[in-house]
Chains A and B, each alone.
Chain A
Amino acid sequence: MAGEFDYEVSRKIWEAAVPVEFQVERDDDSGDACRPCYAMLPRCSYFSLHLTRILEQVRAREESVKLDADKVWLECNGLPLKTYYPVGVLFDLYKPPDTPTITVLIKTAPRPEGVSLVSKDTMESIFMQSLKEANYLKRRKDQVVSTMKIDEHKQLWSGIVHDRFDEFWSINRRLMECSEERPFHDIPIRLYITGQPFRQVPQPPHDENGEPRTLSHALTSLSSDLVENGKYRFISHGITLPLETPLTYLGKNFAYPDNFVHICAVSDSSA
């Protein structure tokens, strides 16, 4: 059971959506606050795929607001939002314990240095780089992604853009194949802490004795102090993961569409 693929889990993960409150931060000092705009965004998706629709929603209610998708940027908790992270990762990182939503400011002031516009094309490139890297980790020499046809790459991305589980998984199923005879070489895992770049090191599914490695082993290999003082909870897809979860299970069932297991370390004192 530790290594089994669970269709129900994958389906629920795909279908999960999170409530996001959008507010426009006006650069004039009129004092009039725009009414917030709410959207349920798929956890497995990306903000840049929804921004145009969000801005249309805001403009429909506040005709005096000029919003250009090429010029706005997003902020959350006082930090520029890394819109190239999956929606679910950003939500898990930023959701306050006492409210069901995260609040994203739509900023019209000039973008700070280092904050890049993430267009749909850029988002697709970033996604494909991550997907290639995840599958290199899993297969090493046997590169499934490299032998894919271009239209299969397009189908993976199209499945995400249009929120089509079957379209996506008809290709992704092949990327998730592993067995006792042909196990994953490494489990693709990225760890996120607010205000830092994500961390990633190769994570073999078994230790040198052939025993399954768990989340606890993976976290300790990333940073020795992450686990020991109980300071953090480790959340993926909104779920606090037990530290004894086998890595193979995570790799098969908790990966986001880019095939990485994205895990957020959230301070436990705020729970």
Chain B
Amino acid sequence: MQLTVWTYEGPPHVGAMRVATGMEGVHYVLHSPQGDTYADLLFTMIERRDKRPPVTYTTFKARDLGTDTAALFKGTLEEAYERYRPQAMLVGSSCTAELIQDDPAGLARAANLPIPVVPLELPSYQRKENWGAAETFYQLVRGLADTEEPQRHRPAGEGSVCNILGPTALGFRHRDDVAEITKLLGELGIRINVTAPMGATPADLVRLGAADFNVVLYPETAGTAAKWLKRTFDQPSTTVVPIGHGATSDFVREVAELAGIDSEPVLARAGSRLPWYSRSVDSNYLTGKRVFIFADATHALAAARVAREEMGFEVVGLGTYAREFARDVRAAAKEIGVEPLITDDYLEVERAIAEAQPEMVLGTQMERHIAKRLGIGCAVISAPVHVQDFPARYSPLMGFEGANVLFDTLVHPLTMGLEEHLLGMFRKDFEFNDTAQPSHLAAESAGTDRAEAEAATVAPADGPIWVPDAEAELKKIPFFVRGKARRNTEAYAAEQGRSEITVETLYDAKAHFSR
């Protein structure tokens, strides 16, 4: 048993729901107890869908156990088929049904429906949501793609055709990423055969083989299917995820090569504002900002590249909750020179962030809450996310417009340059010190929250004691690095066996740690 407070991913059948809900003409019959319909509201509320997800639940109860749950499943399946008349169906078990061992695959075969029925084996006690989505998409592709028809029977000179793979319902920014990448591929003169799962029908999956290559936007959901398509139709896949200016440029080059065309005209024409914004003098203060990154693997790796190469930040922590992609994240962390963090325990993430004392956190909604608690700026770059991260406005993360969005997203949580300068210059000023309330709140000034919070963290009784002068000197350090300075100094004093911290010790420690 694992003690779980918050979970980054749902169970694998939620991944299957993301695929089914993203598609058209698919219906999923899920063998499950009453209550599992909670997952419907992820789609109707968080993603604000205007239709119910195409899922029918068997809703077995305690009194059904041991008697007719198999019959209940079969009846539900047949009724769902009659009612919805889908082009294809998915059948499977949720975690509880997995334990009662009815056989949805066999029962569906026995029902002998006149459409393809794809059975899903989703081991709920080993795997999670993203794996469930990848497996479901793979099973659908494998079950439906036509392997008989001769492929790519277009006349020569008609240009290349590709599939876009990976976007699902409840995917973080999937809607706008697809729009952005579709536009980019259009500019390159590449046609889209099928975009799947999102927006595709089972009939679309049948003709997946007609493309020359696959654009894999989200390896978490499309990786398994793309590998099968490579084996079956010899379709190569893209390996670069186009998040950030540099990655998008690399993606354009990779796609152009797969399509046998010249990427340079498009690269010369297109591009994001990110490079210029990042070079403009206002961005000087971004240099060396310490950021901690924790997300799904794709977004964590992309964000690390953007942070270092395009924003000039220093990455002080890199991790993911996706064990399936741990190796890639470990390799990237090693290259950056930080300890990789592979965990799905958000308390462990919280500890690592507190330890690293970053100036900004890039993560999921969990990290947003952690950062809020620790008083650090944060930007959300990955699922799981709340409703506000399914915005009405156009906000892709991918492509050149995505790079613009990212620049803004990553800059907003930070203290603006001028503000930071003023804080440094007038830190002792009576109205502009860091414990002063904003003037528009002065009437209800609680005033000293931050000072009090800090006082509460004063060195433990058995640690070195701060002499008043040193304490006063410490206060002159901007508040956002003060905690780190305090800890470093105390660690240094302890290491040196000093029982008192003087102004001298403070600056000795500073010199020590800045080597």
Bound together: no
What is the interface of chain B, defined by CB distance below 8 A to chain A? none
